[in-house]
């Protein structure tokens, strides 16, 4: 009997050893197949579809490259852009070398569902870029609007070379992205939540800039979680999160929207709920509904119930113009413009933030209508509203 047990044990050990070897072989084979999945993108015109402007497929600084020329907005000349053929990107790692040839651009676009919806990463090169708060930028494009001005947390400094090649690595998984610049061992910029509306799509590059050595490795995510970063504002009940949104209309130049012009209660009003960080995002619904530089106006309204007559102070962020009415009376009107220069921009530098300003709501006992006319002629538009406290008030929940 002991000999039989010894033989059984030996047989088990041999089978276990074989299983371990087989497992290691399968894993190694999987790694080889995984590495083979890396796509080296061609730098020739047969691999791309030019969608705008001037694009040159020729050597640059001694290497095969794609040069996308700057446009001229005043002369209606578009900046160069091209879409990569036959690659649909979902998750994985994208790497490329880039020379930024303008003050803003060299954009890399992925998960492009169509011309109006995608994710984008781009550069703003300048001297001492490693100290600049907005040297690099992630922004989603939704409904034809690039929302760079509503997500100031998704820009940052980076060690960019102005006149030479810069290596960029984008690691994308689900709702997350890590960005590495010029061989950084840790992310130069972390995107806690990708804000685009598509989870897969084509790849596109946009100038002004020069691209080379583009590779795409599907599903290589380096352990990055697919889940978005926790939104710490979710548990803050002082945000005014639930509104009704009117249809939009064109607003004449220099005109201010009057309360009498707000659509009637019988008109179409659509419920809209705050996104991340308490943001009421009109861009996600309407894009830019009238051609710039014409101005669009839409109305938001909600009800705040107060158990007594009182005033409530709040912090307020808005893009680009806001007119706030309480029970029909104008209590706030201001602009947060960008193209008109630094003096016209609210902190931080014309981006959407609760730092933009503040106001006081005069509330009567009972239900109070708060209505906001928001006006836009630029990029993103919407509001954030955050009460100092909610003592003796009840906010709308739908």
Does residue 32 surpass a pLDDT of 70? no
Map tokens 């600049």 to a residue. Answer: 132
Beta bridge partners of 121: 108, 138
Predicted TM-score of the model (pTM): 0.87
> Model confidence at 9, in pLDDT bands (50, 70, 90)?
very low
> How much is the pLDDT for 251?
95
Between CA 245 and CA 371 the distance in angstroms is 10
Q: Which two tokens stand for residue 15?
A: 């089978």
283 phi, psi to nearest 5 deg? -60, -35
Does residue 20 surpass a pLDDT of 60? no
Does residue 134 surpass a pLDDT of 60? yes
The mean pLDDT of 14-40, rounded to a whole number, is 52
> How much is the pLDDT for 30?
43
Specify the 3-state DSSP secondary structure of 61.
Answer: coil
pLDDT digits (tens, 9 = 90+) for 256-298: 999 999 999 999 999 999 999 999 999 999 998 998 788 999 9
Does residue 23 surpass a pLDDT of 70? no
Average pLDDT, the chain: 92
The mean pLDDT of 324-329, rounded to a whole number, is 99
Assign residue 367 a region (left: φ > 0; alpha: ψ between -120 and 50; beta: otherwise).
Answer: beta
Asked if 173 and 226 touch (Cβ cutoff 8 Å), the reply is yes
The mean pLDDT of 25-46, rounded to a whole number, is 66
Asked if 272 and 243 touch (Cβ cutoff 8 Å), the reply is yes
> Model confidence at 102, in pLDDT bands (50, 70, 90)?
confident
The mean pLDDT of 160-183, rounded to a whole number, is 97
Domain 232-395 has CATH 2.60.120: yes
The mean pLDDT of 331-360, rounded to a whole number, is 97
Q: Where in the chain is the domain with CATH 2.60.120.560?
A: 39-218
Domain 39-218 has CATH 3.40.50.2300: no
Pairing of strands 189-191, 176-181: antiparallel
> Model confidence at 14, in pLDDT bands (50, 70, 90)?
low
Between CA 344 and CA 338 the distance in angstroms is 6
> How much is the pLDDT for 257?
97
Average the pLDDT over each of 178-182, 252-256, 342-346 and give the range with the smallest value. Answer: 252-256
Burial level of 148, CB count in 10 A (0-12/13-18/19+)? buried
pLDDT above 70 covers a percentage of the chain that reads 91
pLDDT digits (tens, 9 = 90+) for 297-309: 999 999 999 999 9
Helix-, strand-, coil-residue percentages of the chain, each rounded to 5: 15, 45, 40
Comparison of pLDDT for 393 and 290, the residue scoring more: 393
> How much is the pLDDT for 162?
86
Beta bridge partners of 280: 383
The mean pLDDT of 353-372, rounded to a whole number, is 99
């Amino acid at each position: 009997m002991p000999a039989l047990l010894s033989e059984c044990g030996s047989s088990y050990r041999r089978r276990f050893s074989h299983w371990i070897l087989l497992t290691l072989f399968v894993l190694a084979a999987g790694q080889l197949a995984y590495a083979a999945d890396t796509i080296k993108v061609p730098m020739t015109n047969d691999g791309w579809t030019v969608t705008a402007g001037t694009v040159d497929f020729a050597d640059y600084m001694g290497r095969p490259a794609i040069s996308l020329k700057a446009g001229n907005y005043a002369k209606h000349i578009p900046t160069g852009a091209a879409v990569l053929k036959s690659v649909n990107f979902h998750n994985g790692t994208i790497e490329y070398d880039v020379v930024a040839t303008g003050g803003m651009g060299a954009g890399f676009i992925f998960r492009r569902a169509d011309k109006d919806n995608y994710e984008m990463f781009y550069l703003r090169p300048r001297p001492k870029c490693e100290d600049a708060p907005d040297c690099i930028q992630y922004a989603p494009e939704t409904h034809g609007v690039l929302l760079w001005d509503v997500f100031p947390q998704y820009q940052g400094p980076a060690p960019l070379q102005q006149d030479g090649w810069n290596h960029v690595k984008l690691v994308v998984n689900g709702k997350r992205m890590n960005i590495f610049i010029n061989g950084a061992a840790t992310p130069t910029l972390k995107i806690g939540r990708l804000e685009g509306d598509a989870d897969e799509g084509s790849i596109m590059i946009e100038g002004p800039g020069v691209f080379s050595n583009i590779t795409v490795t599907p599903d290589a995510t380096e352990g990055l979680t697919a889940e978005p970063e926790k939104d710490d504002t979710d548990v803050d009940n002082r945000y005014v999160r639930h509104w009704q949104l009117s249809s939009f209309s064109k607003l004449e130049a220099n005109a201010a929207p009057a309360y009498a012009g707000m659509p009637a209660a019988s008109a179409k009003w659509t419920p809209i709920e705050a996104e991340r960080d308490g943001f009421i995002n009109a861009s996600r619904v309407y894009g830019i509904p009238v051609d710039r530089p014409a101005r669009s106006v839409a109305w938001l309204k909600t009800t705040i119930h107060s158990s007594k007559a009182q005033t409530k102070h709040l912090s307020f962020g808005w893009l680009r113009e806001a007119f706030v009415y309480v029970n029909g009376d104008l209590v706030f009107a201001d602009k947060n413009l960008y193209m008109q220069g630094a003096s016209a921009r609210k902190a931080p530098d014309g981006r959407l933030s609760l730092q933009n300003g503040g106001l006081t709501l005069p509330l009567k006992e009972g239900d109070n209508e708060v209505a906001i006319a928001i006006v836009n002629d630029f990029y993103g538009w919407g509001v954030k509203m955050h009460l100092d406290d909610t003592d003796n008030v009840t906010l709308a929940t739908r």
